[in-house]
């Protein structure tokens, strides 16, 4: 299947709301000469096209092929200028930047006093909203202007600005080191995944300690604490310490709850913090806390004051629905979760340009898992095939691995055994090519390799043997991670006990509730 051609300008135009399109046309029409401008005509053409089609654009005759690139670049810039003027996009950060731009213009006109007045207000706004990088820029411009404007007490003013610049610089350096560490740990996670043994654990710990800057928690502001908790969170994920993940995700979310005005200023960080908290609770099987946290997150995103722009709306959808799936997986209520599938598929169409392909594939895996748990194996296979046939999916080899294993299990459950031998061989070949396999996966490979030679009356006994072997890894901190993708143990128990998988998982869930 040929992929739809993506064009940045076309995608931007299709992302505009009706009010944003109307404002753009008003913005362009502010001067009479622009009403029939070529870039406005190009805007109208692209807005009406269902998919980007360069031939259709050139057929309109508004511009030659050699000029189209420049015209598109000009239109792209004009749309961004129009969006910047839109009140809905006037974030605190943009407002402060705008004031800094105004002050710079006044400075270049020699209106120093007016420039300093604007800078002082902008600096207060920046510091109160934890925008310390911009605050530092403002102080630097103040220093330049003060060196030329000599009506104040220069000595006191110079000391004041010098101290302020030094303090802001120290805060920014710590924040920068912590944000670098957080990003490096995330990169390490994408490259190597979770640690699989003590040696990898020591390596990651050394890596983390070597890069963690010295800090006094009492001297850190909101943003520095945010990056600190994020760094510890990624270290905890890497080392498969889900209790520590919960600790630092909780600190992250509590930081926002203690500073509610920051939710509006940094909604993306707020959403991500809650998502990591929910992920930690899911891994720890903390059903009640998970339910309360998910309900609270959904409630906040529906509040009128919550800034639900295009980016925040897509992230809210991604995090809330992923965790709605997880909620049903915890309880084993797969059949009750089936209505979620149509909700997700229908909304994915609206977010397809804002959610990356990897996260779409994660949704497909969750949908397949929901169908598998509900006993609808053919539907499960349908969605797994979307993942397995995706040749452009570069990241998350583990997702591809468990998709193939679940695909094999679903074929077995559905009685589609006419090509089971071929499927076993292709799954086996894929798995042995993978690097750093979990022992759980290695045991499953051994099982697959001899499955074709097992007589029907011996199958149950082989299931029992594999179940016993895998149970040894269930509480292993390095190996248990594999069971979070696919609950092989519960599936084996369905074969041994002759019960549906949703009943097996529901019974386990009830037992966990009784043990608390």
Q: What is the pLDDT of residues 206-219, one digit of tens each?
A: 999 999 999 999 99
CA distances from 301 to 82, 226, 298, 442, 452 (A): 27, 20, 5, 43, 52
User: Which one, of 202, 288, 274, 192, lies nearest residue 233 by Cα?
Assistant: 274
pLDDT at position 146 is 84
Q: Please measure the distance between the N-terminal and C-terminal CA atoms of the chain and give it in whole angstroms.
A: 51
pLDDT at position 2 is 41
Q: What is the pLDDT of residues 162-190, one digit of tens each?
A: 899 999 999 999 999 999 999 999 888 87
pLDDT at position 395 is 53
As to burial, measured by CB atoms within 10 angstroms (0-12 exposed, 13-18 middle, 19+ buried), residue 66 is exposed
Q: How far apart are CA 291 and CA 15, in angstroms?
A: 33
User: What radius of gyration, in Å, describes the C-alpha atoms of the chain?
Assistant: 28
Q: How far apart are CA 283 and CA 249, in angstroms?
A: 13
pLDDT at position 462 is 83
CA distances from 224 to 113, 134, 172, 177, 218 (A): 33, 15, 8, 9, 11
Cβ atoms of residues 324 and 291 within 8 Å: no
User: Which one, of 423, 461, 473, 427, lies nearest residue 446 by Cα?
Assistant: 427
Tokens of 295: 């309900």
Can you give the pLDDT of all 516 residues of the chain as single tens digits? 344 457 899 989 988 888 899 989 888 877 655 555 888 889 999 999 988 888 888 888 888 888 899 999 999 999 999 988 877 667 888 899 999 999 999 999 889 889 999 999 999 999 999 999 999 999 999 998 888 765 555 567 888 888 999 999 999 999 999 999 999 998 888 777 788 888 999 999 999 999 999 999 999 999 999 999 999 999 999 998 999 999 999 999 999 999 999 999 899 999 999 999 999 999 888 999 999 999 999 999 999 999 888 889 999 999 999 999 999 999 999 999 999 999 999 999 888 778 888 889 999 999 999 999 999 999 999 999 999 888 766 556 677 888 888 898 888 888 887 777 788 888 878 877 776 677 887 887 778 777 767 777 777 888 888 888 888 888 787 777 777 777 888 888 888 888 888 888 888 888 777 766
Q: Which residues of 415-434 are buried (b: 16+ CB within 10 A; e: fewer)?
A: eeeeeeeebbeebbebbeee
pLDDT at position 342 is 94
Say which DSSP state 31 is in. S
Residues contacting 183, CB < 8 A, separation 6+? none
Full-model pTM: 0.83
pLDDT at position 32 is 59
Place of tokens 């005005």: 261
| Number of CB atoms found within 10 A of residue 461's CB | 11
Cβ atoms of residues 489 and 467 within 8 Å: yes
Q: How far apart are CA 477 and CA 337, in angstroms?
A: 30
pLDDT at position 433 is 78
């Amino acid at each position: 299947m040929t992929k739809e051609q993506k064009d940045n300008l076309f995608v931007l135009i299709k992302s505009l709301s009706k009010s944003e399109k109307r404002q753009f046309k008003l913005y362009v029409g502010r001067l009479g000469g622009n009403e029939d401008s070529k870039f406005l005509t190009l805007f109208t053409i692209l807005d009406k096209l269902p998919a980007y089609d360069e031939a259709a654009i050139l057929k309109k005759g508004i511009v030659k092929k050699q000029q189209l690139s420049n015209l598109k670049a000009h239109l792209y810039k004009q749309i961004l200028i129009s969006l910047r003027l839109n009140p809905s996009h006037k974030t605190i950060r943009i407002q402060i930047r705008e004031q800094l731009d105004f002050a710079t213009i006044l400075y270049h006109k020699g209106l120093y006093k007016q420039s300093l007045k604007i800078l002082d207000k902008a600096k207060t706004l920046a510091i109160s909203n934890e925008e310390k990088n911009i605050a530092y820029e403002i102080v630097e411009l103040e220093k330049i202007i003060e060196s030329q404007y000599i009506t104040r007490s220069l000595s006191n003013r110079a000391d004041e600005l010098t101290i302020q610049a030094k303090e802001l610089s120290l805060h920014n350096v710590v924040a920068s080191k912590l944000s670098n560490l957080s990003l490096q740990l995330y990169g390490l996670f994408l490259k190597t995944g979770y640690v699989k043994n003590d040696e990898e654990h020591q390596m990651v710990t050394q890596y983390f300690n070597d890069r963690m800057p010295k800090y006094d928690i009492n001297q850190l502001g909101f943003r520095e604490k945010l990056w600190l908790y994020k760094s510890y969170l990624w270290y905890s994920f890497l080392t498969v310490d889900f209790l520590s993940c919960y600790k630092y995700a909780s600190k992250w979310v509590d930081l926002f709850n203690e500073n509610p005005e920051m939710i509006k200023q940094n909604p993306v960080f707020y959403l991500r913090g809650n998502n990591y908290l929910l992920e930690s609770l899911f891994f720890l099987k903390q059903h009640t806390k998970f339910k309360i946290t998910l309900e609270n997150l959904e409630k906040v995103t529906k509040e009128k004051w919550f800034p639900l722009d295009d980016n925040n709306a897509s992230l809210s959808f991604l995090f809330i629905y992923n965790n709605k799936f997880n909620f049903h997986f915890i309880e084993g209520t797969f059949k009750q979760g089936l209505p979620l599938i149509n909700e997700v598929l229908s909304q994915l169409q609206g977010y397809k340009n804002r959610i990356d392909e990897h996260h779409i594939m994660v949704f497909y895996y969750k949908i397949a898992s929901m169908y598998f748990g509900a006993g609808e194996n053919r539907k499960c296979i349908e969605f797994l095939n979307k993942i397995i046939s995706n040749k452009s999916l570069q990241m998350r080899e583990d997702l591809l691995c468990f998709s193939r294993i679940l695909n094999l299990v679903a074929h077995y459950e559905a009685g589609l055994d006419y090509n089971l031998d071929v499927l076993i061989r292709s799954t086996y070949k894929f798995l042995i090519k993978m690097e750093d396999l979990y022992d759980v996966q290695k045991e499953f490979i051994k099982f697959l390799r001899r499955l074709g030679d097992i007589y029907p009356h011996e199958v149950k006994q082989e299931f029992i043997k594999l179940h016993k072997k895998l149970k040894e890894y269930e509480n292993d901190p390095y190996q248990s991670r594999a069971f979070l993708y696919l609950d092989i143990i519960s599936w084996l128990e369905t074969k041994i006990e002759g019960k549906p998988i949703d009943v097996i998982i529901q019974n386990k869930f009830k037992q966990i509730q009784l043990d608390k």
